[in-house]
């Protein structure tokens, strides 16, 4: 089995089919979306393919060490992940094809009007070992 990270993005990927921002959904639409995610995770728990998932708060700060006795740097010329990543799911599956199949299914979570979002998800494999340095 191999672990994969399924990243749900706020932006940065091509627009989804049902591209209504989540902050414009009704409470019922939001509840249906969250329930879809819970049901999906529960089904994968049953097959042993679910590891973990989390939705992320839009609040967050980048931090960098800037030298002894100096305060950490908390801003910079980059897109902050709080603006990009909405949440994630870790799965443990037999094949890359299965990871793609599940990501495709997850992308169909309902959004505005109860219609599938068809959002883009990023599928990233976990490293099975630390990279080796060759000279």
Angle between helices 27-47 and 96-106 (to 10 degrees): 160
pLDDT at 13: 56
Please report the DSSP string for 45-113 in residue order. Answer: HHHT-EEEEEE--S-----B--STTSPPB---SS--GGGTEEEEEEEEES-HHHHHHHHHHHTT-B-GG
pTM of the model: 0.78
Give the pLDDT confidence score for residue 80 in this predicted structure: 53
pLDDT tens digits along 85-104: 778 999 999 999 999 999 99
Q: How far apart are CA 123 and CA 82, in angstroms?
A: 19
Enumerate domains of the chain plus CATH numbers: 2-54+82-125 (3.30.70.1060)
Q: Which tokens is 85 given?
A: 């990543």
3-state secondary structure of 2: strand
| Res 37: pLDDT | 93
């Amino acid at each position: 089995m191999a672990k994969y990270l399924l990243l749900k993005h706020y932006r940065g990927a091509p627009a989804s089919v049902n591209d209504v921002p989540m902050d414009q959904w009704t409470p019922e639409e939001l509840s249906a979306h969250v329930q879809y995610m819970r049901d999906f995770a529960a089904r994968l728990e049953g097959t042993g393919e679910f590891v973990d998932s989390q939705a992320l708060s839009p609040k967050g700060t980048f931090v960098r060490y800037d030298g002894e006795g100096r305060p950490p740097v908390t801003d910079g010329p980059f897109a902050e992940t709080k603006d990009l990543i909405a949440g994630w799911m870790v799965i443990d599956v037999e094949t890359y094809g299965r990871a793609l199949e599940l990501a495709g299914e997850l992308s169909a979570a309902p959004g505005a009007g109860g219609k599938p979002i068809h959002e883009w998800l990023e599928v990233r494999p976990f490293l099975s070992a630390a990279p080796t340095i060759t000279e």
